[in-house]
């Protein structure tokens, strides 16, 4: 069936083998999802400020991490537009390079997320052990880091797995 593939027109080839999605489209969707997710995260953090000290600490972490992730999302969109407009941006070699780069960054971040969770757990545990007037808030802050790290770990792993793959060009 595919023995005469080279003789087919471009349209016929696209019907048989769909075009590979652009890495720039993937970057755009990734940034948009990060922004939307962190708007929800920010709202949850603000809502938690109306509860007990523990929940205020947890919510404070949601607010702080949302601010950082929103900045990453917006700056990522700007950088994506700039890089996608470059003349060689849509060549197979460049798209393969960009895909490898974002995949490596996401896997690196997944490793860092584990460290965040461990650090948050230690923070919460120390606050519970030492007690004091501010202990519940500090415990909430620590658990907030655990929650944010866990959410980011899931985010980074899923997105690393779905980065488009491009054949290596010589």
Asked, for residue 167, whether it belongs to a domain, the answer is: no
Asked, for residue 1, whether it belongs to a domain, the answer is: no
Q: Closest Cα to residue 135, out of 47, 48, 57, 51?
A: 57
Asked, for residue 72, whether it belongs to a domain, the answer is: yes
Asked, for residue 63, whether it belongs to a domain, the answer is: yes
Question: What is the pLDDT at residue 165?
Answer: 86
Asked, for residue 109, whether it belongs to a domain, the answer is: yes
First to last CA, the chain: 28
Asked, for residue 71, whether it belongs to a domain, the answer is: yes
Domain that holds residue 62: 20-162
Asked, for residue 9, whether it belongs to a domain, the answer is: no
How many domains does the chain contain in total? 1
Asked, for residue 3, whether it belongs to a domain, the answer is: no
Q: From residue 15, give the alpha-carbon distance in Å to each of 11, 20, 91, 164.
A: 6, 12, 21, 19
pLDDT < 70: residue spans in the chain: 1-20, 168-170
89-138: pLDDT as tens digits: 888 888 889 999 999 999 999 999 999 999 999 999 999 999 888 999 99
Question: What is the pLDDT at residue 92?
Answer: 85
Question: What is the pLDDT at residue 22?
Answer: 85
Where b means 16+ CB within 10 Å and e means fewer, 49-83 reads: eeeeebbbbbbbbbbbbbeebbeebeebbeebeee
């Amino acid at each position: 069936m595919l023995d005469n593939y080279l003789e087919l027109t471009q349209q016929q080839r696209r019907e048989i083998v769909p075009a590979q999605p652009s890495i720039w489209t993937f970057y755009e969707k990734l940034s948009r999802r990060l922004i939307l997710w962190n708007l929800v995260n920010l709202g949850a953090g603000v809502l938690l400020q109306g509860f007990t000290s523990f929940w205020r600490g947890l919510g404070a972490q949601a607010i702080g991490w949302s601010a950082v992730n929103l900045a990453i999302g917006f700056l990522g969109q700007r950088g994506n537009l700039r890089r996608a407009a470059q003349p060689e941006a849509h060549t197979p070699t460049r798209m393969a390079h960009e895909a490898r780069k974002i995949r490596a960054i996401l896997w690196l971040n997944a490793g860092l997320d584990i460290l965040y969770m461990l650090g948050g757990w230690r923070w919460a545990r120390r606050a519970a052990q030492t007690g004091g007037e501010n202990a519940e808030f500090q415990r909430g802050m620590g658990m907030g880091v655990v929650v944010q790290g866990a959410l980011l770990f899931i985010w980074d792993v899923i997105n690393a797995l779905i980065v488009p793959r491009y054949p290596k060009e010589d």
